[in-house]
Amino acid sequence: MDWHEDNVRNDVRKFLEANWDPNADLLEWRNKLIDAGWGMPSWPRRWYGLDMPQALQQIVAEEFAHVGAVTVARTGIRLLAAETLLAHGNDSQRERYLRKILTGEETWCQLFSEPGSGSDLAGSTTRAELQGDEWVINGQKVWTTSAHHADFGLLLARHDWDLPKHQGLSYFILNFHQEGVVVHPLKQMNGHASFNQVFFNDAKIPRNDQVGNDGDGWQIAMTTLMHERRNAGNIFTEGRARGAFTGSIYAQADAENKILLEPYTWYPQRAGRVDLAVPRAIETGAIDDPVARQEIAKLLIMSRCAEWTALRARAAQQQGQPQGPEGSLGKLAGSNIAKQAAKVHTLIAGVDAMTAGVDGPEQGIIAEILLSVPAISIAGGTDEIQRNIISERVLGMQKEPRMDTGPFKDVRKN
pLDDT over 70, % of the chain = 93
The pLDDT assigned to 235 comes to: 46
Confidence of residue 381 (pLDDT cuts 50, 70, 90): confident
Predicted TM-score of the model (pTM): 0.83
- The average pLDDT across 17-21 equals 96
The pLDDT assigned to 236 comes to: 46
Q: What is the set of active-site residues?
A: 228
Among 217-221, 336-340, 401-405, name the one with the lowest average pLDDT.
Answer: 401-405
CATH 1.10.3470.10 assigned to 266-394? no
What is the tens place of the pLDDT at every residue in 222-244? 999 887 766 655 544 444 445 66
Confidence of residue 39 (pLDDT cuts 50, 70, 90): very high
Maximum mean pLDDT: which of 202-206, 316-320, 383-387: 202-206
Distance CA 115, CA 127 (A): 14
Greater pLDDT, 33 or 4 = 33
The pLDDT assigned to 234 comes to: 52
Please measure the distance between the N-terminal and C-terminal CA atoms of the chain and give it in whole angstroms.
Answer: 56
The residue extents of the domains of the chain are 5-72+236-253, 82-231, 266-394
- The average pLDDT across 298-324 equals 81
- Asked if residue 301 has pLDDT above 60, the reply is yes
- Decide if 82-231 and 266-394 have a common fold: no
In the 3-class helix/strand/coil scheme, how is 293-323 assigned residue by residue? HHHHHHHHHHHHHHHHHHHHHHHHHHCCCCC
pLDDT over 90, % of the chain = 70
Reference 217, options 136, 163, 177; nearest CA is 163
CATH number for 82-231 (one of 3.30.1480.10, 2.40.110.10, 1.20.1560.10, 2.40.50.140): it is: 2.40.110.10
Greater pLDDT, 139 or 246 = 139
